[in-house]
Amino acid sequence: MSKVLADNVIYAITNIFRVYCFYRFAQFWFKKKDFYHLLEYGLYVVYFIVNTLCHVLFHNPLINMMTNILPFFLITCLYHAKNHIRVVTTLMIYAVCMVTDGIVYSLAQLVGVDSVVITSGMASTIMLLCTELMIERFIQYRKHQKIILKHILILLVVPVGSVIIGVFTMQPEQFDSEPATIAAECFILLIMNVMVFVFYDMTGKVNEQQKIHTILENQNKAYANQIRLMNQSQDKIKYLRHDLKNHLSKIRILAQCGECEKILEYTKDAEKYIIVPEKYVESGNSGIDSILNLKLSEADIQGIIIQTEISVPTDLKITDFDINIILGNLLDNAINALDNCQEKKLYIKIKYDTGAMYIIIKNTFAEKSKKQYDDAEHGLGLLSVENTIKKYSGFSEYSRKNSVYTAKIVIYL
Protein backbone atom coordinates (compact mmCIF):
# COMPACT_ATOMS: atom_id res chain seq x y z
CA MET A 1 0.00 0.00 0.00
CA SER A 2 1.42 3.38 -1.03
CA LYS A 3 1.78 6.21 1.44
CA VAL A 4 -0.83 8.39 -0.37
CA LEU A 5 -3.34 5.55 -0.47
CA ALA A 6 -2.73 4.75 3.19
CA ASP A 7 -3.20 8.41 4.09
CA ASN A 8 -6.57 8.43 2.30
CA VAL A 9 -7.59 5.15 3.94
CA ILE A 10 -6.76 6.52 7.40
CA TYR A 11 -8.78 9.66 6.67
CA ALA A 12 -11.72 7.53 5.53
CA ILE A 13 -11.49 5.41 8.70
CA THR A 14 -11.44 8.43 10.99
CA ASN A 15 -14.22 10.05 8.95
CA ILE A 16 -16.47 7.03 9.53
CA PHE A 17 -16.25 7.55 13.27
CA ARG A 18 -16.58 11.32 12.97
CA VAL A 19 -19.82 10.91 10.99
CA TYR A 20 -20.90 8.45 13.68
CA CYS A 21 -20.35 11.23 16.26
CA PHE A 22 -22.50 13.58 14.19
CA TYR A 23 -25.19 10.89 14.06
CA ARG A 24 -25.17 10.60 17.86
CA PHE A 25 -25.38 14.36 18.21
CA ALA A 26 -28.43 14.40 15.93
CA GLN A 27 -30.18 11.69 17.97
CA PHE A 28 -29.85 13.84 21.05
CA TRP A 29 -30.82 17.22 19.67
CA PHE A 30 -33.69 16.33 17.38
CA LYS A 31 -36.96 14.46 17.69
CA LYS A 32 -37.40 11.95 14.92
CA LYS A 33 -40.06 12.12 12.26
CA ASP A 34 -41.88 9.03 11.04
CA PHE A 35 -39.47 7.65 8.45
CA TYR A 36 -37.65 4.44 7.71
CA HIS A 37 -34.37 4.00 9.54
CA LEU A 38 -32.78 2.78 6.31
CA LEU A 39 -33.36 6.24 4.83
CA GLU A 40 -31.62 7.87 7.79
CA TYR A 41 -28.67 5.49 7.69
CA GLY A 42 -28.46 5.80 3.90
CA LEU A 43 -28.19 9.59 4.10
CA TYR A 44 -25.37 9.35 6.63
CA VAL A 45 -23.55 6.96 4.28
CA VAL A 46 -24.00 9.45 1.42
CA TYR A 47 -22.73 12.21 3.73
CA PHE A 48 -19.61 10.16 4.50
CA ILE A 49 -18.95 9.33 0.84
CA VAL A 50 -19.37 12.92 -0.37
CA ASN A 51 -17.15 14.37 2.36
CA THR A 52 -14.45 11.73 1.97
CA LEU A 53 -14.31 11.98 -1.82
CA CYS A 54 -14.13 15.78 -1.75
CA HIS A 55 -11.26 15.62 0.74
CA VAL A 56 -9.36 13.06 -1.33
CA LEU A 57 -9.92 14.85 -4.65
CA PHE A 58 -9.51 18.51 -3.69
CA HIS A 59 -7.68 18.78 -0.33
CA ASN A 60 -9.32 22.20 0.06
CA PRO A 61 -10.26 23.34 3.63
CA LEU A 62 -13.20 25.45 2.38
CA ILE A 63 -14.64 22.60 0.31
CA ASN A 64 -14.12 20.25 3.25
CA MET A 65 -16.01 22.62 5.54
CA MET A 66 -18.92 22.99 3.09
CA THR A 67 -19.17 19.23 2.55
CA ASN A 68 -19.41 18.86 6.32
CA ILE A 69 -22.00 21.54 7.02
CA LEU A 70 -24.39 21.34 4.06
CA PRO A 71 -24.98 17.55 3.98
CA PHE A 72 -25.50 17.44 7.74
CA PHE A 73 -27.97 20.33 7.56
CA LEU A 74 -29.94 18.44 4.90
CA ILE A 75 -29.99 15.38 7.15
CA THR A 76 -31.46 17.47 9.99
CA CYS A 77 -34.52 18.03 7.77
CA LEU A 78 -35.50 14.46 8.66
CA TYR A 79 -36.15 15.53 12.25
CA HIS A 80 -38.75 17.72 13.92
CA ALA A 81 -37.26 21.20 14.36
CA LYS A 82 -37.59 24.76 13.15
CA ASN A 83 -35.17 25.90 10.45
CA HIS A 84 -33.26 28.29 12.69
CA ILE A 85 -32.81 25.47 15.23
CA ARG A 86 -31.40 23.27 12.48
CA VAL A 87 -28.97 25.99 11.39
CA VAL A 88 -27.79 26.75 14.93
CA THR A 89 -27.43 23.07 15.85
CA THR A 90 -25.50 22.27 12.66
CA LEU A 91 -23.07 25.13 13.21
CA MET A 92 -22.75 24.29 16.92
CA ILE A 93 -21.88 20.64 16.23
CA TYR A 94 -19.36 21.62 13.57
CA ALA A 95 -17.91 24.21 15.97
CA VAL A 96 -17.44 21.46 18.57
CA CYS A 97 -15.60 19.45 15.92
CA MET A 98 -13.34 22.41 15.08
CA VAL A 99 -12.64 23.11 18.75
CA THR A 100 -11.54 19.51 19.38
CA ASP A 101 -9.27 19.74 16.31
CA GLY A 102 -7.77 22.98 17.60
CA ILE A 103 -7.18 21.61 21.10
CA VAL A 104 -5.46 18.48 19.81
CA TYR A 105 -3.17 20.31 17.37
CA SER A 106 -2.37 23.03 19.92
CA LEU A 107 -1.38 20.45 22.53
CA ALA A 108 0.70 18.59 19.94
CA GLN A 109 2.55 21.77 19.04
CA LEU A 110 2.97 22.66 22.71
CA VAL A 111 4.63 19.38 23.67
CA GLY A 112 6.38 18.95 20.31
CA VAL A 113 4.65 15.72 19.31
CA ASP A 114 4.83 14.59 15.67
CA SER A 115 2.67 11.51 15.14
CA VAL A 116 0.34 10.04 12.55
CA VAL A 117 -2.31 9.96 15.30
CA ILE A 118 -2.34 13.76 15.24
CA THR A 119 -1.89 14.45 11.51
CA SER A 120 -4.47 11.84 10.46
CA GLY A 121 -7.16 13.35 12.68
CA MET A 122 -7.56 10.17 14.73
CA ALA A 123 -6.82 11.92 18.02
CA SER A 124 -9.32 14.67 17.13
CA THR A 125 -11.97 12.04 16.37
CA ILE A 126 -11.40 10.34 19.71
CA MET A 127 -11.64 13.73 21.42
CA LEU A 128 -14.89 14.37 19.57
CA LEU A 129 -16.26 11.01 20.77
CA CYS A 130 -15.36 11.95 24.36
CA THR A 131 -16.94 15.39 24.03
CA GLU A 132 -20.15 13.93 22.64
CA LEU A 133 -20.24 11.43 25.47
CA MET A 134 -19.80 14.17 28.08
CA ILE A 135 -22.67 16.15 26.56
CA GLU A 136 -24.86 13.03 26.62
CA ARG A 137 -24.03 12.40 30.27
CA PHE A 138 -24.88 15.98 31.17
CA ILE A 139 -28.25 15.74 29.46
CA GLN A 140 -28.90 12.36 31.04
CA TYR A 141 -28.12 13.97 34.40
CA ARG A 142 -31.14 16.18 33.78
CA LYS A 143 -33.20 13.11 32.94
CA HIS A 144 -33.09 10.96 36.05
CA GLN A 145 -29.49 9.78 35.88
CA LYS A 146 -26.70 10.83 38.18
CA ILE A 147 -23.30 11.81 36.86
CA ILE A 148 -20.86 9.54 38.66
CA LEU A 149 -17.38 11.07 38.38
CA LYS A 150 -15.66 7.76 39.04
CA HIS A 151 -17.43 6.14 36.09
CA ILE A 152 -16.55 9.03 33.78
CA LEU A 153 -12.88 8.92 34.77
CA ILE A 154 -12.72 5.16 34.22
CA LEU A 155 -14.40 5.59 30.85
CA LEU A 156 -11.87 8.24 29.77
CA VAL A 157 -8.97 5.87 30.41
CA VAL A 158 -9.61 4.08 27.10
CA PRO A 159 -9.61 7.13 24.74
CA VAL A 160 -6.76 8.87 26.55
CA GLY A 161 -4.77 5.65 26.61
CA SER A 162 -5.48 5.11 22.91
CA VAL A 163 -4.10 8.54 22.01
CA ILE A 164 -0.99 8.03 24.15
CA ILE A 165 -0.31 4.59 22.64
CA GLY A 166 -0.82 5.98 19.15
CA VAL A 167 1.50 8.94 19.73
CA PHE A 168 4.37 6.70 20.84
CA THR A 169 3.86 3.91 18.29
CA MET A 170 2.72 5.65 15.10
CA GLN A 171 5.67 7.81 14.17
CA PRO A 172 6.11 9.43 10.70
CA GLU A 173 9.08 7.21 9.87
CA GLN A 174 7.02 4.11 10.57
CA PHE A 175 4.23 5.48 8.40
CA ASP A 176 6.74 5.93 5.57
CA SER A 177 7.83 2.29 5.79
CA GLU A 178 4.61 0.56 6.93
CA PRO A 179 1.56 2.65 5.91
CA ALA A 180 -0.78 -0.38 5.81
CA THR A 181 0.14 -1.30 9.40
CA ILE A 182 -0.53 2.24 10.58
CA ALA A 183 -3.92 2.26 8.84
CA ALA A 184 -4.87 -1.03 10.52
CA GLU A 185 -3.75 0.27 13.94
CA CYS A 186 -5.84 3.43 13.49
CA PHE A 187 -8.90 1.35 12.68
CA ILE A 188 -8.37 -0.99 15.66
CA LEU A 189 -7.89 1.88 18.13
CA LEU A 190 -10.96 3.73 16.88
CA ILE A 191 -13.19 0.64 16.87
CA MET A 192 -12.06 -0.13 20.44
CA ASN A 193 -13.15 3.32 21.59
CA VAL A 194 -16.51 3.10 19.85
CA MET A 195 -17.14 -0.35 21.32
CA VAL A 196 -16.41 0.98 24.81
CA PHE A 197 -18.82 3.88 24.33
CA VAL A 198 -21.52 1.61 22.88
CA PHE A 199 -21.09 -0.80 25.79
CA TYR A 200 -21.39 2.13 28.20
CA ASP A 201 -24.61 3.18 26.46
CA MET A 202 -26.02 -0.33 26.69
CA THR A 203 -25.18 -0.49 30.39
CA GLY A 204 -26.87 2.87 30.97
CA LYS A 205 -30.01 1.73 29.14
CA VAL A 206 -30.12 -1.49 31.16
CA ASN A 207 -29.81 0.49 34.40
CA GLU A 208 -32.56 2.85 33.28
CA GLN A 209 -34.83 -0.08 32.44
CA GLN A 210 -34.11 -1.60 35.84
CA LYS A 211 -35.11 1.66 37.53
CA ILE A 212 -38.35 1.80 35.53
CA HIS A 213 -38.97 -1.85 36.36
CA THR A 214 -38.48 -1.09 40.06
CA ILE A 215 -40.96 1.80 39.88
CA LEU A 216 -43.53 -0.33 38.05
CA GLU A 217 -43.01 -3.19 40.48
CA ASN A 218 -43.58 -0.80 43.38
CA GLN A 219 -46.70 0.53 41.65
CA ASN A 220 -48.02 -2.99 41.09
CA LYS A 221 -47.47 -3.80 44.76
CA ALA A 222 -49.41 -0.67 45.67
CA TYR A 223 -52.30 -1.64 43.40
CA ALA A 224 -52.27 -5.20 44.71
CA ASN A 225 -52.35 -3.89 48.28
CA GLN A 226 -55.23 -1.55 47.41
CA ILE A 227 -57.20 -4.37 45.78
CA ARG A 228 -56.62 -6.56 48.82
CA LEU A 229 -57.94 -3.83 51.11
CA MET A 230 -60.96 -3.26 48.90
CA ASN A 231 -61.70 -6.99 48.79
CA GLN A 232 -61.47 -7.19 52.57
CA SER A 233 -63.93 -4.33 52.92
CA GLN A 234 -66.32 -5.79 50.37
CA ASP A 235 -66.16 -9.24 51.95
CA LYS A 236 -66.99 -7.85 55.38
CA ILE A 237 -69.84 -5.77 54.01
CA LYS A 238 -71.13 -8.81 52.09
CA TYR A 239 -71.14 -10.96 55.21
CA LEU A 240 -72.70 -8.17 57.27
CA ARG A 241 -75.41 -7.70 54.64
CA HIS A 242 -76.08 -11.46 54.66
CA ASP A 243 -76.56 -11.38 58.44
CA LEU A 244 -78.34 -8.01 58.45
CA LYS A 245 -81.73 -9.53 59.23
CA ASN A 246 -80.36 -11.25 62.31
CA HIS A 247 -78.55 -8.08 63.41
CA LEU A 248 -81.67 -5.95 63.05
CA SER A 249 -83.66 -8.53 64.96
CA LYS A 250 -81.14 -8.40 67.79
CA ILE A 251 -81.17 -4.62 67.88
CA ARG A 252 -84.99 -4.56 67.89
CA ILE A 253 -85.11 -6.95 70.88
CA LEU A 254 -82.61 -4.82 72.78
CA ALA A 255 -84.60 -1.69 71.97
CA GLN A 256 -87.83 -3.30 73.21
CA CYS A 257 -86.08 -4.13 76.43
CA GLY A 258 -84.81 -0.54 76.74
CA GLU A 259 -81.19 -1.64 76.88
CA CYS A 260 -79.63 1.36 75.13
CA GLU A 261 -76.11 0.69 76.33
CA LYS A 262 -76.15 -2.81 74.88
CA ILE A 263 -77.44 -1.38 71.58
CA LEU A 264 -74.51 1.05 71.46
CA GLU A 265 -72.07 -1.74 72.30
CA TYR A 266 -73.59 -3.99 69.63
CA THR A 267 -73.40 -1.32 66.89
CA LYS A 268 -69.86 -0.48 67.95
CA ASP A 269 -68.85 -4.12 67.39
CA ALA A 270 -70.51 -3.99 63.98
CA GLU A 271 -68.50 -0.86 63.05
CA LYS A 272 -65.26 -2.55 64.04
CA TYR A 273 -66.19 -5.46 61.82
CA ILE A 274 -66.71 -3.20 58.80
CA ILE A 275 -63.56 -1.06 59.21
CA VAL A 276 -60.39 -2.41 57.64
CA PRO A 277 -57.53 -1.35 59.98
CA GLU A 278 -54.85 -1.44 57.28
CA LYS A 279 -56.59 1.08 55.04
CA TYR A 280 -54.94 4.35 56.05
CA VAL A 281 -56.14 6.57 53.21
CA GLU A 282 -59.39 6.56 51.25
CA SER A 283 -59.49 9.75 49.19
CA GLY A 284 -61.17 8.17 46.18
CA ASN A 285 -58.14 8.68 43.92
CA SER A 286 -56.88 5.16 43.26
CA GLY A 287 -53.34 6.21 42.30
CA ILE A 288 -52.73 8.23 45.45
CA ASP A 289 -54.57 5.81 47.74
CA SER A 290 -52.62 2.82 46.41
CA ILE A 291 -49.12 4.16 46.98
CA LEU A 292 -50.00 5.82 50.31
CA ASN A 293 -51.63 2.71 51.75
CA LEU A 294 -48.64 0.62 50.73
CA LYS A 295 -46.02 2.98 52.19
CA LEU A 296 -48.03 3.78 55.31
CA SER A 297 -48.48 0.08 56.03
CA GLU A 298 -44.66 -0.17 55.98
CA ALA A 299 -44.44 2.83 58.31
CA ASP A 300 -47.02 1.36 60.69
CA ILE A 301 -44.98 -1.83 61.05
CA GLN A 302 -42.05 0.32 62.28
CA GLY A 303 -44.28 1.90 64.93
CA ILE A 304 -44.38 5.30 63.23
CA ILE A 305 -47.11 7.69 64.35
CA ILE A 306 -48.97 8.61 61.15
CA GLN A 307 -51.12 11.67 60.50
CA THR A 308 -52.68 12.34 57.10
CA GLU A 309 -54.79 15.07 55.49
CA ILE A 310 -55.77 14.05 51.96
CA SER A 311 -58.21 16.10 49.89
CA VAL A 312 -57.99 15.39 46.18
CA PRO A 313 -60.50 14.68 43.40
CA THR A 314 -60.89 11.17 42.06
CA ASP A 315 -59.50 12.22 38.68
CA LEU A 316 -56.24 14.17 38.40
CA LYS A 317 -54.31 15.14 35.27
CA ILE A 318 -51.18 13.35 36.42
CA THR A 319 -50.27 9.76 35.63
CA ASP A 320 -50.21 7.14 38.37
CA PHE A 321 -46.62 6.42 37.27
CA ASP A 322 -45.55 9.98 38.11
CA ILE A 323 -47.51 9.94 41.37
CA ASN A 324 -45.67 6.75 42.27
CA ILE A 325 -42.28 8.38 41.57
CA ILE A 326 -43.03 11.47 43.70
CA LEU A 327 -44.81 9.95 46.69
CA GLY A 328 -42.93 6.64 46.59
CA ASN A 329 -39.46 8.22 46.71
CA LEU A 330 -40.34 10.94 49.23
CA LEU A 331 -41.97 8.43 51.58
CA ASP A 332 -39.09 5.96 51.16
CA ASN A 333 -36.68 8.71 52.21
CA ALA A 334 -38.90 9.71 55.14
CA ILE A 335 -39.34 6.14 56.39
CA ASN A 336 -35.60 5.52 56.01
CA ALA A 337 -34.86 8.62 58.13
CA LEU A 338 -37.39 7.54 60.77
CA ASP A 339 -35.75 4.14 61.11
CA ASN A 340 -33.01 5.55 63.42
CA CYS A 341 -35.26 8.05 65.16
CA GLN A 342 -36.65 7.65 68.67
CA GLU A 343 -39.68 9.93 68.19
CA LYS A 344 -41.14 8.51 64.98
CA LYS A 345 -43.71 10.87 63.51
CA LEU A 346 -44.86 11.18 59.90
CA TYR A 347 -47.26 13.82 58.60
CA ILE A 348 -48.66 13.83 55.06
CA LYS A 349 -50.88 16.47 53.55
CA ILE A 350 -52.06 16.39 49.93
CA LYS A 351 -54.47 19.03 48.73
CA TYR A 352 -55.82 20.01 45.32
CA ASP A 353 -56.90 23.60 44.77
CA THR A 354 -57.52 25.65 41.59
CA GLY A 355 -55.48 23.52 39.23
CA ALA A 356 -52.57 22.79 41.56
CA MET A 357 -51.73 19.87 43.83
CA TYR A 358 -49.89 20.66 47.06
CA ILE A 359 -47.91 17.94 48.83
CA ILE A 360 -46.38 18.37 52.29
CA ILE A 361 -44.48 15.54 53.96
CA LYS A 362 -42.93 16.04 57.39
CA ASN A 363 -40.93 13.53 59.39
CA THR A 364 -38.73 13.59 62.42
CA PHE A 365 -35.13 12.48 62.09
CA ALA A 366 -32.16 11.84 64.33
CA GLU A 367 -29.61 14.66 64.17
CA LYS A 368 -26.74 12.23 64.74
CA SER A 369 -27.76 10.36 61.57
CA LYS A 370 -27.83 13.51 59.45
CA LYS A 371 -25.14 12.27 57.03
CA GLN A 372 -27.04 9.09 56.33
CA TYR A 373 -30.19 11.10 55.72
CA ASP A 374 -28.33 13.48 53.42
CA ASP A 375 -27.30 10.51 51.29
CA ALA A 376 -30.93 9.53 50.87
CA GLU A 377 -31.95 13.10 50.13
CA HIS A 378 -29.38 13.60 47.41
CA GLY A 379 -29.82 10.16 45.90
CA LEU A 380 -31.25 9.15 42.60
CA GLY A 381 -34.76 8.93 44.06
CA LEU A 382 -34.90 12.63 44.85
CA LEU A 383 -33.42 13.44 41.46
CA SER A 384 -36.27 11.48 39.84
CA VAL A 385 -38.74 13.43 41.98
CA GLU A 386 -37.29 16.75 40.85
CA ASN A 387 -37.42 15.84 37.17
CA THR A 388 -40.99 14.58 37.48
CA ILE A 389 -42.02 17.83 39.17
CA LYS A 390 -40.47 19.81 36.30
CA LYS A 391 -42.68 17.90 33.83
CA TYR A 392 -45.66 19.67 35.40
CA SER A 393 -43.90 23.05 35.75
CA GLY A 394 -43.92 22.62 39.49
CA PHE A 395 -41.38 23.37 42.19
CA SER A 396 -40.15 21.95 45.48
CA GLU A 397 -38.78 23.18 48.78
CA TYR A 398 -36.91 21.17 51.41
CA SER A 399 -36.04 22.31 54.91
CA ARG A 400 -34.84 21.09 58.32
CA LYS A 401 -35.84 22.63 61.61
CA ASN A 402 -35.90 21.26 65.16
CA SER A 403 -35.22 17.68 64.01
CA VAL A 404 -38.13 17.81 61.54
CA TYR A 405 -37.53 17.44 57.84
CA THR A 406 -40.15 19.04 55.56
CA ALA A 407 -40.68 18.45 51.85
CA LYS A 408 -43.10 20.81 50.08
CA ILE A 409 -44.13 20.10 46.50
CA VAL A 410 -46.37 22.10 44.17
CA ILE A 411 -47.51 20.56 40.88
CA TYR A 412 -49.62 22.47 38.34
CA LEU A 413 -52.28 20.30 36.74
For residues 52 and 195, state if they share a domain: yes
Co-location of 201 and 292 in the same domain: no
Say if 113 falls within a structural domain. yes
Domain stops at, among 158, 191, 211: 211
Q: What is the pLDDT of residues 375-392, one digit of tens each?
A: 444 456 787 788 889 889
The pLDDT of residue 371 is above 50: no
> What phi, psi does 350 have (nearest 5°)?
-130, 125
Are residues 205 and 311 both part of a single domain?
Answer: no
Least confident piece of the model among 100-109, 134-143, 171-180, 305-314: 134-143
- Domain boundary at 184, 211, 238, which? 211
Q: In this structure, are residues 361 and 331 in contact, taking their beta carbons and an 8 Å threshold?
A: yes
CB 166 within 8 A of CB 185: yes
Return the beta strands (E) in 365-403 as ranges: 395-401
d(CA 168, CA 115): 8
Q: Please count the CA atoms within 13 angstroms of the CA of 170 that sit on its side-chain side.
A: 28
Domain membership of residue 294 as a residue range = 280-413
Report if residue 305 sits inside a domain: yes
Q: How far apart are CA 142 and CA 386, in angstroms?
A: 9
Do 187 and 301 share a structural domain? no
Structural domain includes residue 58: yes
**What stretches of 243-258 show up as alpha helix (H) in DSSP?**
244-256
Task: For residue 384, give the CATH number of its domain.
Answer: 3.30.565.10
> For residue 13, is it within any domain?
yes
What residues does 120 pair with on adjacent strands? none
Report the C-alpha gap between 90 and 63 in whole angstroms. 16
Question: Over the stretch 281-317, which tens digit does the pLDDT of each residue have?
Answer: 888 888 888 888 888 888 888 889 999 999 999 888 8
- Looking at the fold, whether 168 and 287 belong to one and the same domain comes out as no
pLDDT at residue 372, as a whole number = 47
Q: Do residue 201 and residue 296 come from a single domain?
A: no
Model-level pTM?
0.57
Q: What is the DSSP letter of 218?
A: H
* Separation of alpha carbons 236 and 310, rounded Å: 25
Does some domain include residue 219? no
- Report yes or no on 240 lying in a domain: no
Q: How many domains is the chain built from?
A: 2
